[in-house]
Amino acid sequence: MAEEIKKEAPANFKVTIDNITVEVAPGTTILQAARMIGGDVTPPAMCYYSKLKGSGGKCRTCLVEVAAGSTADPRPMPKLVASCRTNIMDGMIVKNITSERVQDARAGVVEFLLLNHPLDCPICDQAGECHLQDLGYEHGKEGTRYEFKRRTFEKEDIGPYIQLHMTRCILCYRCTYVADQLTDSRVHGILDRGDHAEISTYISKAIDNDFSGNMIDVCPVGALTDKTFRFKNRVWFTKPVDAHRDCDKCCGKVTLWQRGDDVLRVTARKDEWGEVQSYEGKPGWICNTCRFDTKHTKDWVIEGPTKINRHSVISQGHYVGMQKPAETISKVMGGRDPKLLMDIHSVSDVNSVEIASLPGPATSENFKNSQ
Ligand code: SF4
Ligand code: FES
């Protein structure tokens, strides 16, 4: 019977998100369909990670409004839904940036995520590549209505390479999925519930596994940071470069974060959604040897500068694949070179000694008068 229904079902479902229609295969989630469209239409995702089974449904940043459930049943869904966990139906109409309810709810989610999160971006190593920082800028408010003391935790070492700042954790569970799905045994997890919940290594056991470093890459905030890079530099001052090496444990394709010729940090390569890139259908997780033990350019075959896709401060100093803007001034001046268009002293009375009788910087006029 189920097979019959499958055969009758159309091969492609149409879904309209923010007035843009795409055709997707049945079983696709709203978030995945939105990623196919790309750009601002795509809801933010702090806990969903397409390469980690079971992820999503924890943070509620990806909420969207379903204005029509399907062609067969076009009634709207009464509540906002988590787009990472809701499958599309044929003829579904979804609103993300075109819905005031969504924008308002997302601002509320950001406020909740920031309730206990310290605003220590100036000293946090994740600054510049933190998804919560981006979300805060886009949807956050200047103030907080929270009157209580924020949660505090004892500092905890999580193995030789990873530092845990539990105060920054948003309990997205991504790192526990990495431990579950990439390493042989998980020795850390989320203990307790509610506002007592915390990531812990369970009796402070060190995470000693070849792929444990990937937890740093999946953490959307600065809760898990690379001890070998901590406080070495701001990420926007470093130069990301794609490189590879023959590695018998992982794909060996990485991004080197360099300052001059020094390799300050090695990470997996990320796609435009901030997730590790896939190669031949497999996620490009990297091993700890590539990440922590090969920090010289001679260890790597350099491919070239990394293309920074996200609207990120990291891209400020890097102009890979960017088109230079047209020279507007020469355009409006009919192709002539821009010249100094006016002398500020000749149009401003403020600093003129004669008029204002105030001391000010010397101008050519003052000089003439003193002759
Ligand atoms: S430590 Fe990072 S990856 Fe792990 S649950 Fe907290 S925020 Fe998520
Ligand atoms: S990304 Fe959908 S709930 Fe977190």
pLDDT at residue 209, rounded to an integer: 80
Distance (Å, whole) CA 109 – CA 115 = 10
**350 alpha carbon to ligand 2 midpoint, in Å?**
57
Locus of tokens 């459930």: 69
Q: Is pLDDT larger for residue 7 or for residue 176? A: 176
Q: What is the pLDDT of residues 15-25, one digit of tens each?
A: 999 999 999 99
Domain-located, residue 322 = no
| pLDDT (average), residues 317-334 | 60
The reply to whether 294 and 211 lie within a common domain is no
If asked whether residues 76 and 169 sit together in one domain, one would say no
Looking at the CA of 56, name the nearest ligand: 2
Instruction: Decide if 271 is inside a domain.
Output: yes
First to last CA, the chain: 104
Is 46 a pocket residue for ligand 2 (Cβ < 6 Å)? yes
Q: What is the mean pLDDT of residues 2-20?
A: 68
As given in the structure block, the two tokens for residue 233 are 């530099």
- Of 91-95, 123-127, 176-180, where does mean pLDDT reach its minimum? 176-180
Rounded to the nearest 5 degrees, what angle is found at the Cα of 361, between the Cα atoms of 355 and 364?
75
* pLDDT(192) > 90: no
Kindly give, in sequence order, each residue whose CB lies less than 8 Å from that of residue 358, ignoring residues fewer than 6 positions away: 351
DSSP secondary structure of 271-338: -TTSSBPEETTEE----HIIIII--SGGGSEEEEEPP--SS-GGGGG--TTPPPPP-HHHHHTTTPPP
Classify 141 in phi/psi space as left (phi over 0), alpha (psi -120 to 50) or beta.
beta
Categorize the per-residue pLDDT at 92 as very low, low, confident or very high, splitting at 50, 70 and 90.
very high
Task: Please report the atom of ligand 2 found closest to the CA of residue 31.
Answer: 2
Which of 158, 173, 186, 219, when mutated, tests ligand 1's pocket best, judged by the most ligand atoms within 8 Å of its CB?
219
Confidence of residue 197 (pLDDT cuts 50, 70, 90): confident
Whether residue 344 has pLDDT greater than 80: no
Pocket of ligand 2 contains residue 61 by CB under 6 Å: yes
Per-residue pLDDT at 151: 85
CATH number at residue 11: 3.10.20.740
207 lines ligand 1 (CB under 6 A): no
How many Cα atoms are found within 13 Å in the side-chain-facing hemisphere of 125? 21
219 C-alpha vs ligand 2 centroid, how far in Å? 14
Which residue has the CA at smallest separation from atom 3 of ligand 1? 219
Q: Is residue 323 part of a domain?
A: no
**Residue range 267-320, pLDDT digits in tens:** 999 998 999 999 988 999 999 999 999 999 999 999 998 887 656 677 665 554
The pLDDT value given to residue 2: 36
Is 164 a member of any domain?
yes
Q: Are 107 and 140 in contact (CB under 8 A)?
A: yes
Structure tokens at 320: 């890979």
Q: Please tell me the predicted confidence (pLDDT) of residue 371.
A: 45
Q: What percent of the chain has pLDDT over 70?
A: 78
Q: Is the CB of 45 under 6 A from ligand 2?
A: yes
Quick check: CB of 48 below 6 Å from ligand 1? no
- Tally the domains of the chain: 4
Which whole number is the average pLDDT over 129-148?
A: 88
**Smallest-distance ligand from the CA of 63:** 2
Ligand 2 neighbour 62 (Cβ under 6 A): yes
Note whether residue 193 is domain-resident. Answer: yes
Q: Is the CB of 161 under 6 A from ligand 1?
A: no
* Nearest Cα residue to atom 1 of ligand 2: 45
Containing domain of residue 203, as a range? 121-142+151-226
- Do 215 and 250 lie in a common domain? no
pLDDT at 338: 57
- Residue 147, pLDDT score: 87
Question: Which residue's alpha carbon is at the smallest distance from atom 8 of ligand 1?
Answer: 172
The CB of 59 under 6 Å from ligand 2? The reply is yes
pLDDT at 327: 61
pLDDT at 131 exceeding the cut of 70: yes
- How far, in Å, CA of 203 to CA of 193, rounded? 17
Pick the residue with more confidence: 80 or 314? 80
pLDDT tens-place string over residues 204-244: 565 678 898 999 999 999 999 999 999 888 888 888 999 99
Query: Do both 280 and 220 map to the same domain?
Result: no
pLDDT of residue 362: 54
Prediction pTM value: 0.78
Confirm whether 111 is domain-assigned: no
Judge if 95 and 10 occupy the same domain: yes
Q: How far is the CA of 116 from the centre of ligand 1 (A)?
A: 14
- With a 6 Å cutoff on the Cβ, whether 174 touches ligand 1 is yes
